[in-house]
């Protein structure tokens, strides 16, 4: 009985580790490019390995401090498809 239980625990841990590694994927290995100071381009792609982060400008606004900011949607694209990485805001100057 103990051998069976140990085998089940080992297989569950191995599966969990594989899922964690698979979910992390390539996107977590590369940093998303910081667009601060680039003047808020309409889109920007930084390539990494077999894909790249594509940042698309959603809108710009002027903060209470008088500086202009850009809000970007970030997607990691590669041969396996697109992964939504959320959004980022950068100061445009």
pLDDT score, position 93: 87
Q: For 14-55, what is each residue's pLDDT tens digit?
A: 444 443 334 444 444 557 899 999 999 999 999 988 899 999
Global confidence as pTM: 0.66
CB 89 within 8 A of CB 69: yes
What pLDDT does residue 31 have? 79
The DSSP output letter for 28 is G
Burial 24-46 (b: 16+ CB within 10 A, else e): eeebeeeebbebeeeebeeebee
The predicted structure's pLDDT at residue 84: 96
Q: Return the number of other C-beta atoms located less than 10 Å from residue 82's C-beta.
A: 11
* Ordered DSSP codes for 31-65: PPPP-TTS---SEEEEEETTEEEEEEEEEEEE-TT
């Amino acid at each position: 009985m103990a051998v069976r239980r140990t085998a089940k625990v080992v297989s569950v841990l191995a599966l969990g580790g594989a899922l964690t590694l698979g979910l992390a994927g390539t996107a977590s290995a590369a940093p998303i490019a910081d667009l601060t100071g680039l003047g808020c381009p309409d889109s920007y792609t930084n390539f990494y390995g077999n894909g790249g982060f594509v940042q698309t400008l959603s809108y710009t606004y002027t903060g209470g401090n008088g500086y202009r900011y850009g809000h970007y949607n970030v997607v990691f694209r590669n041969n396996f498809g697109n992964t939504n990485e959320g959004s980022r805001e950068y100061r445009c100057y």
